[in-house]
């Protein structure tokens, strides 16, 4: 399995002495849909800030497709053009006076050609159906609309890896589905998508690969079927088993049956 980003003995301690990541070794498979799961304070957000170079490890190193991260201006610019980060709070991400400027902001850092920036901005506005609020200030939008603008702004940069920190935590089910549909569309184009969540049901149905975190450490990694079978590591991470796994265990079904029930379950939830 090709890896996209690798972490080698990565530790991170906040200035107040909080050791948020403890010697993490992790390889994120390329082109996959990856769920990063763990309870509050597990270190998911910290890890995501390191992936995009906003935070620098206290020790250890990261590499992207075989090249170690460098934290000078040039290295960070390259890194951020490859690895996009969707913040958990849209209000922390949205800084421009209008939606249009929000989307063109990152592009202007990336390209000198103003005409090209305009073309790319307009293409993204169309793709994300943002015409009606292009000239509005982002604070006037609903949570779902804000999240859509944030996603559009990140995707305008055409990253290879998209890191999304709890992208649907405060969205209604329909809007959450819309966001996941965008993520799936991107993944179909070969992009690697990493999503943090404590929603084990969604992680189980959506992800190709799951990483379980607790207390700054990785407890388990692997395919959803194997990760979610391991009740011990889930319990340690303050997580439950997905409802459907628990249900099937209870009724003693084997995994062949579970595939059929799963497909019905997915259809029911439209995931
Ligand atoms: N800016 C910060 N300063 C100090 N400690 C922090 C900061 N941000 C997070 N932490 C601490 O680091 C640990 C990991 O937090 P975080 O990465 O936000 O976890 P998660 O996203 O899984 O909830 C927690 O104990 C949290 O309190
Ligand atoms: Mg978090």
Q: 258 C-alpha vs ligand 1 centroid, how far in Å?
A: 37
> Is the CB of residue 254 below 6 angstroms from any atom belonging to ligand 1?
no
> Is the CB of residue 44 below 6 angstroms from any atom belonging to ligand 1?
yes
Return the pLDDT at 244: 78
Q: How far apart are CA 30 and CA 32, in angstroms?
A: 6
At CA 220, angle to CA 162 and CA 206, rounded to 5?
Answer: 45
> Is the CB of residue 42 below 6 angstroms from any atom belonging to ligand 1?
yes
> Where is mean pLDDT largest: 103-107, 170-174, 257-261?
103-107
Measure Cα distances from 123 to 63, 129, 170 in Å: 31, 10, 27
Measure Cα distances from 131 to 125, 142, 157 in Å: 6, 15, 19
Return the pLDDT at 249: 76
Q: How far apart are CA 67 and CA 209, in angstroms?
A: 23
Q: 253 C-alpha vs ligand 2 centroid, how far in Å?
A: 35
> Is the CB of residue 222 below 6 angstroms from any atom belonging to ligand 1?
no
pLDDT tens figures, 163-185:
999 999 888 888 888 899 999 99
Mutate to test the pocket of ligand 1, among 38, 43, 52, 214 (most ligand atoms within 8 A of CB): 43
Q: Report which ligand 1 atom has the smallest distance to the Cα of 38.
A: 22
Residues 26-52 have a mean pLDDT of 97
Q: Which ligand has the nearest atom to the CA of 41?
A: 1
Q: pTM for the whole thing?
A: 0.92
Return the pLDDT at 254: 58
Q: Report which ligand 1 atom has the smallest distance to the Cα of 42.
A: 22
Return the pLDDT at 173: 85
Q: Which ligand has the nearest atom to the CA of 217?
A: 1
Q: Which ligand has the nearest atom to the CA of 37?
A: 1
Return the pLDDT at 269: 60
pLDDT tens figures, 36-46:
999 999 999 99
Measure Cα distances from 178 to 16, 146, 154, 173, 199 in Å: 39, 13, 16, 9, 17
* 257 or 46: which leads in pLDDT: 46
Mutate to test the pocket of ligand 1, among 45, 47, 86, 219 (most ligand atoms within 8 A of CB): 45
DSSP code, position 167: T
> Is the CB of residue 72 below 6 angstroms from any atom belonging to ligand 1?
no
The pairing of strands 19-29 and 67-68 is unpaired
The full DSSP string for 77-102 is HHHHHHEEEE-SSHHHH--SSSHHHH
> Is the CB of residue 197 below 6 angstroms from any atom belonging to ligand 1?
no
Domains along the sequence of the chain with CATH? 3-91+160-240 (3.40.50.300)
Return the pLDDT at 208: 95
Q: Report which ligand 1 atom has the smallest distance to the Cα of 39.
A: 22
CA-closest residue to ligand 1 atom 7: 14
Query: How large a percentage of the chain has pLDDT more than 90?
Result: 79
Tokens matching residue 159: 């990253």
């Amino acid at each position: 399995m090709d890896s996209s980003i690798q972490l080698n003995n990565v530790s991170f301690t906040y200035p107040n002495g909080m050791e948020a990541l403890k010697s993490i070794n992790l390889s994120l498979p390329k082109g996959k849909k990856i769920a990063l799961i763990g309870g509050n304070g597990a270190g998911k957000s910290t890890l995501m800030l390191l992936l995009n170079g906003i935070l620098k490890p206290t020790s250890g190193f990261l590499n992207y497709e075989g090249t170690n991260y460098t934290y000078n201006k040039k290295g960070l610019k390259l890194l951020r053009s490859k690895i996009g980060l969707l913040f958990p709070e849209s209000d922390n991400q949205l800084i421009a006076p209008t939606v249009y400027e929000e989307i063109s902001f990152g592009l202007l850092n990336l390209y000198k050609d103003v005409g090209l920036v305009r073309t790319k901005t307009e293409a993204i506005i169309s793709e994300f159906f943002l015409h009606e609020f292009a000239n509005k200030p982002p604070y006037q939008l609903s949570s779902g609309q804000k999240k859509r603008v944030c996603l559009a702004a990140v995707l305008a940069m055409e990253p290879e890896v998209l890191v999304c920190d709890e992208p649907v935590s405060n969205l209604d089910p329909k809007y959450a589905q819309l966001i996941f549909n965008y993520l799936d569309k991107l993944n179909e184009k070969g992009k690697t998508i990493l999503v943090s969540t404590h929603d084990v049901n969604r992680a189980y149905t959506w992800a190709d690969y799951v990483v379980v975190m607790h207390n700054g450490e990785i407890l388990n990694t692997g395919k959803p079927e194997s990760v979610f079978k391991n009740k011990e590591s889930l319990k340690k991470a303050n997580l439950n088993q997905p409802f459907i796994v628990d249900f099937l265990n209870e009724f003693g079904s084997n995994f062949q049956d579970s595939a059929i029930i799963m497909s019905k379950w997915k259809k029911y939830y439209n995931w």
